[in-house]
Amino acid sequence: MTTDESRTGRTSQPANTSAQNFHPSDRIAVLVRNGGTAKRSSVSRQLNDPGTSAQEWLQHKNEKEACDIYIGMNT
Protein backbone atom coordinates (compact mmCIF):
# COMPACT_ATOMS: atom_id res chain seq x y z
CA MET A 1 0.00 0.00 0.00
CA THR A 2 1.36 3.43 -0.92
CA THR A 3 1.38 6.41 1.41
CA ASP A 4 -1.57 7.94 -0.49
CA GLU A 5 -3.56 4.71 -0.13
CA SER A 6 -2.94 4.46 3.61
CA ARG A 7 -4.03 8.06 4.22
CA THR A 8 -7.00 8.32 1.89
CA GLY A 9 -7.88 4.76 0.92
CA ARG A 10 -7.32 5.53 -2.78
CA THR A 11 -4.44 5.73 -5.21
CA SER A 12 -3.10 8.85 -6.85
CA GLN A 13 -3.10 8.74 -10.66
CA PRO A 14 -2.20 12.22 -11.97
CA ALA A 15 -1.49 11.12 -15.56
CA ASN A 16 -4.90 9.46 -15.82
CA THR A 17 -6.63 12.46 -14.28
CA SER A 18 -4.92 14.80 -16.72
CA ALA A 19 -5.81 12.57 -19.67
CA GLN A 20 -9.46 12.48 -18.54
CA ASN A 21 -9.69 16.26 -18.19
CA PHE A 22 -7.87 17.39 -21.32
CA HIS A 23 -8.14 16.44 -24.99
CA PRO A 24 -4.79 15.20 -26.38
CA SER A 25 -4.41 18.35 -28.53
CA ASP A 26 -5.28 20.82 -25.71
CA ARG A 27 -2.50 23.21 -24.79
CA ILE A 28 -1.89 22.95 -21.06
CA ALA A 29 0.27 24.80 -18.58
CA VAL A 30 2.22 23.10 -15.79
CA LEU A 31 3.29 25.05 -12.73
CA VAL A 32 5.76 23.44 -10.32
CA ARG A 33 6.35 25.12 -6.95
CA ASN A 34 8.74 24.39 -4.11
CA GLY A 35 10.37 27.59 -2.98
CA GLY A 36 10.90 28.68 -6.60
CA THR A 37 8.58 28.30 -9.54
CA ALA A 38 9.01 26.44 -12.83
CA LYS A 39 6.51 26.79 -15.67
CA ARG A 40 6.08 24.65 -18.75
CA SER A 41 3.58 24.69 -21.60
CA SER A 42 2.81 21.72 -23.83
CA VAL A 43 0.03 19.79 -25.51
CA SER A 44 -1.71 17.28 -23.26
CA ARG A 45 -0.61 14.30 -25.39
CA GLN A 46 3.09 15.01 -24.67
CA LEU A 47 2.53 15.37 -20.94
CA ASN A 48 0.50 12.17 -20.65
CA ASP A 49 2.77 9.84 -22.64
CA PRO A 50 4.51 7.47 -20.19
CA GLY A 51 8.29 7.42 -20.37
CA THR A 52 8.62 10.91 -21.86
CA SER A 53 11.02 13.47 -20.50
CA ALA A 54 8.01 15.47 -19.26
CA GLN A 55 6.77 12.51 -17.18
CA GLU A 56 10.27 11.86 -15.84
CA TRP A 57 10.69 15.54 -14.92
CA LEU A 58 7.31 15.67 -13.15
CA GLN A 59 7.99 12.41 -11.32
CA HIS A 60 11.37 13.70 -10.15
CA LYS A 61 9.85 17.01 -8.99
CA ASN A 62 7.08 15.16 -7.14
CA GLU A 63 9.06 12.33 -5.53
CA LYS A 64 12.54 13.79 -4.97
CA GLU A 65 11.81 17.47 -4.40
CA ALA A 66 8.27 17.26 -2.94
CA CYS A 67 7.01 20.02 -5.24
CA ASP A 68 3.41 21.09 -5.63
CA ILE A 69 2.35 20.50 -9.26
CA TYR A 70 -0.56 22.36 -10.85
CA ILE A 71 -1.92 21.59 -14.32
CA GLY A 72 -4.44 23.77 -16.13
CA MET A 73 -5.64 24.93 -19.52
CA ASN A 74 -3.19 27.25 -21.29
CA THR A 75 -5.63 29.63 -22.99
Kindly report, residue by residue over 30-48, the tens digit of the pLDDT: 999 998 899 989 888 888 8
Query: Rounded CA gap, 69 and 56, in Å?
Result: 13
Using left for φ > 0, alpha for ψ between -120 and 50, and beta otherwise, residue 16 falls in alpha
Q: Please give the pLDDT value at position 64.
A: 92
Q: Where are the domains of the chain?
A: 16-73
pLDDT exceeds 70 at position 61: yes
8 A C-beta contact, residue 39 and residue 30: yes
Q: Please give the pLDDT value at position 9.
A: 53
Confidence of residue 75 (pLDDT cuts 50, 70, 90): confident
Q: What is the pLDDT of residues 3-29, one digit of tens each?
A: 444 555 554 555 566 778 888 899 999
The torsion angles phi and psi of 72, rounded to 5 degrees, stand at -150, 170
Query: Rounded CA gap, 74 and 42, in Å?
Result: 9
Angstrom CA distances, 59 to 25, 75, stand at 22, 25
Q: Please give the pLDDT value at position 19.
A: 75
Q: What is the pTM of this model?
A: 0.66
Q: CATH: 3.40.1350, 1.20.1070, 1.10.3210, 3.30.1490. Which one for 16-73?
A: 3.30.1490
